[in-house]
Amino acid sequence: MKTQRLGKKGWTPERIGSLKGKTYVITGANSGAGLEASRILLSKGAKVVMMNRNPNKSEAAIAVLKQSLGQDVDVSFIQIDLGVMASVRRAAEELLETTDSIDALICNGAIAQVPRQDMTVDGFESQLGVNHFGHFLLTGLLFDRIEASKGRIVMVGSNAYKMGQKRIKFEDLNFDHKYTAWDSYAQSKLAQVMFGYELQRRIEATGKQVEVHVCHPGASRTNLLMDTASTFNKIMWSIMSRIIAQSAERGAWPEVMCATEQGLPTMKLYGPTKRANTVGPVGENKLDDVALDKEMASQLWDLSLEKTSLEWGL
């Protein structure tokens, strides 16, 4: 689906009809693009379940949403730490107990540009642990419920996937030899998008009724770097974002499109289409070949099953 087919404006939330009766699950939804995606979906009548790490921020975000959209909007949250596999399992169990259907799981939560190597309790480099392994496990645990709804899985990636070393560093996954904030972040986002495309291939091979879509927000004014980056990078981004970035709401449009737009082709990358895909109308982006490397993706899939102790018969 090229941007031109959507007109000069590309995709906008005006294309969404009523979402009454539909349920959307979003990770990392208490600020930034995740919060704005929640706002858009709720405004169309959907139910939204946020999966966030911080309960206090989640309660504050829900209060803000209810204040602007009305006290009767159906929004709730479940506590999850994507960097702790036990937490992911507990959160998935709670969600399955309380949510009958999932029309889309939006894997939006992320950390970025961690200045020094930081390891999760499960022994993963933190960005790979949160951005990929956490979402891999969550998606696997929720997959049957999503399939029962003939739902969707949305991977919110980043154009960093085609930067850094442009490969999964299987021989040194945690960058023990030479850690850099950029290379480790780029690897984590490559893992995420490769997982999305490999999952779609496996779904099609088994004839299951689930769509997987991969997107990125472009350059958007969110708190992503403010949480984990070095002081220098925080200062640089706070200055540059005022000049080059779009709003968090615009950054949310690609993931909302991927969760709601009918007839959206899979095995594509969606995001802003102007200024090197950083801002502008939302549509299809050119996809770097590395994202579709089947051999690397299959190896990553097997490794992810092993690292997360997940049994997933796809």
Q: How many CA atoms lie within 13 A of 141 on its CB side?
A: 22
Nearest to residue 108, comparing CAs of 253, 289, 287, 268? 253
Q: Which amino acid is at 216?
A: H
Q: What are the Cα distances from residue 66, in Å, to 28, 156, 180, 264? A: 18, 25, 41, 31
Tokens of 232: 């220098």
Task: Mark whether 185 is an active-site residue.
Answer: yes
Point out the catalytic residue in the list 24, 161, 179, 185. Answer: 185
Give the sign of the dihedral formed by CA 132, CA 314, CA 1, CA 289: positive
| Cα–Cα distance measured from residue 231 to residue 158, given in angstroms and rounded to the nearest whole number | 22
Beta carbons within 8 Å of 171's beta carbon, 6+ residues apart: none
Beta carbons within 8 Å of 231's beta carbon, 6+ residues apart: none
The catalytic residues are 185
